[in-house]
Amino acid sequence: MKNLILRAVVKYFAGFIILSALIFIPAGSLKFLNGWLFMGLLFIPMLIMGLVLIFKNPQLLEKRINAKETQSQQKTVLIISGIMFISGFIIAGLNYRFKWYAFPKWVIILGSVIFILSYLMYAEVLRENTYLSRTVEVQENQKVIDTGLYGIVRHPMYSATIFLFLSIPLVLGSLYAFLIFLVYPFALILRIDNEEKVLENELDGYKEYKKKVKYRLFPFIW
């Protein structure tokens, strides 16, 4: 347990430092208030969620910390997503420095609300599905979850992350960063396509689950 806590703390602070650098160095100032707003919205709930997992479900925290993708198609998706995040945060910082077009205050407030609600949805998905991993895999004794949010769409975690990630540039106030983050839903389509093939082949009952729950991300849309 001590080793898990240590790795979680190291990863938490490493993420804080790296993300701060990506936002505030391009901004050229620590006075970028939207940057601090985003950091608070991200890392305070992340701390709370980490503490809950340590005491309630350390196995899930372990899986999410140690996850390493093995599927080649998924590695490509992760690379695309990584480039998107790095570029988006840098552009948001530059947007502040050079006074490019910025969203009005009401958009920033709306983005903050969407971010918080999306994080709550993400937390609910973690509560419902203890098999969740950051990689595409079928775990030992894994069962199909078909209740709660999983009774509405097949991939509620991805639904939450779409709202979560698209709200980030709104919080940061950058239109150009928002255009970059629009890459994410398209990258996610590739991930879901590959993931469902793996689940159909390796997870008992998944084919029947697909017939029961028709939609992947959004009811009546897709």
83, part of any domain: yes
- The pLDDT of residue 69 is 55
Greater pLDDT, 128 or 104: 104
Query: What percentage of residues in the chain have a pLDDT greater than 90?
Result: 45
What pLDDT digit, counting tens, does each position of 173-205 carry?
999 999 999 999 888 888 888 888 888 887 788
Domain that holds residue 165: 2-212
- The pLDDT of residue 221 is 86
What pLDDT digit, counting tens, does each position of 62-100 carry?
766 765 555 555 677 788 889 999 999 999 999 999 999
Instruction: Report the 10 Å Cβ neighbour count for 41.
Output: 18
- The pLDDT of residue 210 is 87
52, part of any domain: yes
Whether the predicted pLDDT of 211 surpasses 70: yes
218, part of any domain: no
Residue 191's CATH number? 1.20.120.1630
Per-residue confidence at 4, pLDDT binned at 50, 70, 90? confident
Contact status, residue 85 vs residue 184, Cβ threshold 8 Å: no
Whether the predicted pLDDT of 136 surpasses 50: no
194, part of any domain: yes
DSSP letters for 127-140 = HH-TT--SSS---T
Contact status, residue 143 vs residue 129, Cβ threshold 8 Å: no
What pLDDT digit, counting tens, does each position of 142-179 carry?
677 878 888 889 889 899 999 999 999 999 999 999 99
Which of 107-116, 117-126, 202-211 is most confident? 107-116
Which of 50-54, 78-82, 127-131, 157-161 is most confident? 157-161
Query: What percentage of residues in the chain have a pLDDT greater than 70?
Result: 89
219, part of any domain: no
Q: What is the mean pLDDT of residues 42-47?
A: 93
Kind and range of the H or E element at 70? Answer: none
221, part of any domain: no
220, part of any domain: no
Q: What is the value of pTM for the model shown?
A: 0.86
- Count of structural domains within the chain: 1
Provide the token pair at 164: 């979560």
9, part of any domain: yes
Whether the predicted pLDDT of 134 surpasses 70: no
Give the whole-angstrom CA distance, residue 176 versus residue 40: 22
